[in-house]
Amino acid sequence: MKRIVIFASGSGTNAENIIRHFQDSTEASVVQVLSNKKDAKVLDRAKSLDVSAFSFNRVAFKEGHVLSLLEAMKPDLVVLAGFLWKMPEDIVKAFPNKIINVHPALLPKYGGKGMYGKHVHEAVVNNKEKESGITIHYVNEHYDEGAIIFQAKTNVEENDSVEDVAAKIHKLEYEHFPKVIAKLLNL
């Protein structure tokens, strides 16, 4: 059984979608959800789906406690689904090409520190982009600079609001993220 660990910082709709996708699988499952926010809704979502979930603080993250936990869990894939902290170099080195992220834009555009969620969609709308999308990429020691695994596009209409763009991006994430995870796990 392939083991998936999810990191998330917020609501957790992508995490829930991934958990549900693999819930009845005999080949892979989400074994842990970790969050850097003790009140993140993702923790409740995971627990309601019978997936172990808990939070950690910056000290545990930076001083190797989260790395030790990951090493003990032996994940086949670590999935960042709305996780806003940069992965420490020791974790990236311990899991080469086993940590992936979904970014709500077509990288290399609109990537980097501070470019997440609403901030990305605002930039897309303000710059009058004709398209946006998602990028699923490997995580390295820099924000949004790891090798691209997959991209999916959507049109941005002239009258689309930030919320309209966000809804289109979420639809792409829900459709493609679990499938890309399955493919990376050779399922």
Give the residue numbers annotated as catalytic, written as ranges: 103
Q: Which residue type, as a one-letter code, is found at position 6?
A: I
CA–CA distance, 97 with 139 (Å, rounded to integer): 7
Q: What distance in Å separates the CA atoms of residue 119 and residue 172, rounded to the nearest whole number?
A: 18
Closest C-alpha among 22, 34, 31, 18 to residue 42: 34
CB-based burial label for 117 (10 Å; 0-12, 13-18, 19+): middle
